[in-house]
């Protein structure tokens, strides 16, 4: 559960969110929460952080960081909002959002739900 092990995930994140991710790790550490990050990435213009096990203390801190990412340019960390361009969603400031447009709504995710008994 080393800090460095978790920190390496920041290289998978857009530059603008790396300080946000580092702050999350610092907050987890100072709250005495020891979790292992198993993945950190951008998905549909939002930060996603996954940990190795459910943790009731870590969950709200992670959710808060993910929520903050929706208002923070993923390129530079300035105030941003969800934009879309070339079918890609990204949270961008005015400068980095040049060429992007505001989407009509949040990204839609279609799930193909199947149950084991259907197999
Ligand atoms: Zn920006």
Asked if residues 75 and 98 have their Cβ atoms less than 8 Å apart, the reply is no
> Cα of 67 to ligand 1 centre, how many Å?
17
Q: Write down the pLDDT at residue 111.
A: 63
Q: How far apart are CA 116 and CA 23, in angstroms?
A: 40
Asked if residues 23 and 57 have their Cβ atoms less than 8 Å apart, the reply is no
> Cα of 106 to ligand 1 centre, how many Å?
20
Helices then strands, counting H and E runs in the chain, come out as 3, 4
Question: At residue 87, does pLDDT exceed 60?
Answer: yes
**Tens of pLDDT, residues 8-46:** 999 999 999 999 999 999 999 999 999 999 999 999 999
What is the residue extent of each domain of the chain? 3-105
Query: Of 36, 48, 34, whose CA–CA distance to 89 is shortest?
Result: 48
> Cα of 56 to ligand 1 centre, how many Å?
33
Q: How confident is the model at residue 119 (pLDDT cuts 50, 70, 90)?
A: very low
């Amino acid at each position: 559960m080393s800090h460095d092990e978790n920190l390496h995930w920041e290289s998978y994140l857009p530059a603008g969110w790396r300080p946000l991710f580092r702050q999350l790790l610092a907050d987890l550490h100072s709250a005495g929460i020891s979790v292992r990050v198993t993945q950190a990435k951008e998905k549909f213009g939002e930060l996603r952080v996954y940990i190795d096990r459910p943790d009731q203390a870590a969950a709200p801190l992670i959710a808060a960081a993910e929520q903050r990412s929706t208002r923070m340019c993923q390129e530079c960390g300035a105030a941003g909002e969800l934009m879309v361009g070339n079918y890609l969603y990204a949270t961008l400031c005015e400068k980095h959002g040049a060429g992007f447009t505001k989407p009509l709504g949040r990204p839609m995710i279609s799930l193909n739900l199947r149950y084991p008994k259907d197999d």
